Amino acid sequence: MPKMKGVVYLGNHTVSVRQDIDVPEPGPNQVLIKVAYAALCATDIHGMEGLIGMPAKGPDTVIGHECSGVVVALGSEAEGKGLRVGDHVVGDPGMYCHYCEDCKAGRKCTAKHNRGHGVMAEYKVYNIDSCHKIPDDFPLRRAALVEPTTCVLRAIDLVQPEVGKTAVLSGAGGIGMLLLRAIKRAGAARVTVIEPVEEKWPLIRELGASYIINPKKQNVAEECQRITGGHGYDYVYEASGTSAAAPVCLDITGYGGKIVYFAVYPADYELPVNLNKLYKKEGSLYTVFVHYTNFPRAIRFVQEDDPVIDKIIGLEFPLDRAPEAFEAFHTSKYSKIVLKCNEDI
C-alpha cells in the first residue's frame, strides 16, 4: 500500500510528522484529494485533547480539519456528481449519513459520524457531498480560510448585525480576524477589538477596526463605555476563548445587546452571569458551532474579499516542519498558520 506523510498528535501539545501513513482509497461515493494547504486552528488542539466531544487523538490518527486541495481520484460511484479529477476544492470536516435523525432534521453538524483521518497530510478522502468545488482562479492558499469562515458566517447569521450598530470583538486569532472582517463588511460601526498582542494591531486596523483595546494595559469596561458614549455595544463577540475575557462581555453590552461566545472554553469553566445586571438590558447570549450549508457563501466571501484577507495567514511551513508550525501557533503572535502539504500544487 502506498504511504504518505501525515501529522499526528503525541500528547502534551506536541505533534510529529509520520512518513508511514497509508494513502487512503476513496470508497464508492468518495473523492481523493491531494492537499494543497492545511491551516492550523485552536479547535485542532481542543480536538486532540478530547475537549470538544470527540475522542482524544492518538499517534495513529492524522489531525487537522481546514484545507484546500485538488481532486486526484473519484470513487466507483462518484462520477457525474459534480466533481472531476483536477477540480480545486475545499473540504467540510463533517461526514454525513443523511439517514440518521440529526442528518434528516438538518442538524447534520451534531450527528456523531466518524470523520476519518484529518487533513494535515499529503492526501485526504472526502465523501463527495463534503467536498466543495472552488473556481480555478481562487488561490488555494487563501481557500484554506473557507472552512473557518463557514463558522464566522454562522456567528453573523445568529445575531444578524444591522448597518450602523456598534460591535466589539474580543480576541484576534484566526477566527477573530475573519470575524472582524465579516462584522465590518456587514456594516457594523465603532468596530472595536480587544487584543493584548500589539504585533497584531496593524492588521486589525487594516481589516477594519476603528478602536483597539489592550486588556493587559487598559480597563476594558471603561474603554468600551467611553467609545460607545456610555451605551455599551449592540453586538459583543468573544472569540479569545480565555475564561478571563468572558465575564466582561456582560458588562460591555448595551440595551438589547447580543453576546456571542464563539470559542471553546476550558471544560471546567463556568461563566458567572449576574442576571440582575443583565435583565434591564434585555440582553441575549449565543453560542456558535459549525454550519455545513455555509460553504458556498464562504467560498464567495473569501474569494471576493480584498487581498487584505490574505494577510490573516501570517506564516507558512512545509508539511515536514509541522512541529515548528505548532510551536509558532502557541506563541499567539500569528492569527493563521498554514502547512503546504504538497510542493507541486
- Residues in the interface with Zn ion (CB under 5 A) total 7
Which stretch, 34-42, 160-168, 240-248, 324-332, contacts Zn ion (CB under 5 A)?
A: 34-42
What amino acid occupies position 110?
A: T
Least distance to Zn ion from the beta carbon of 66, Å?
5
> Could you give the string, one character per residue 92-111, with x where binding to Zn ion holds by CB under 5 A and - elsewhere?
-----x--x--x-------x
Cell numbers describing residue 269: 469553566
| Nearest residue (CB) to Zn ion, 141 versus 231 | 141
Residue 313 touching Zn ion (CB under 5 A): no
Least distance to Zn ion from the beta carbon of 108, Å?
7
List residues bridging with 33 in a β-sheet: 71, 124
Q: Which are the contacts of 37, defined by CB distance < 8 A and separation ≥ 6?
A: 67, 68, 140, 141, 143, 144, 316, 338, 339, 340, 341
What's the chain's Rg over C-alpha atoms?
20
Which stretch, 71-79, 80-88, 89-97, 246-254, contacts Zn ion (CB under 5 A)?
A: 89-97
| Nearest residue (CB) to Zn ion, 91 versus 254 | 91
Q: What is the DSSP string of 263-328?
A: S---TT------HHHHHTTT-EEEE----GGGHHHHHHHHHHS-GGGGGGEEEEEEGGGHHHHHHH
Which stretch, 37-45, 67-75, 85-93, 301-309, contacts Zn ion (CB under 5 A)?
A: 37-45
Footprint (CB under 5 A) of Zn ion, residues 131-170: 148
Residue 52 touching Zn ion (CB under 5 A): no
Alpha carbons 21 and 121: distance in angstroms, whole number: 9
Alpha carbons 320 and 259: distance in angstroms, whole number: 40
Residue from 15, 21, 35, 41 touching Zn ion (CB under 5 A): that is 41
- Binding residues vs Zn ion (CB under 5 A): 41, 43, 97, 100, 103, 111, 148
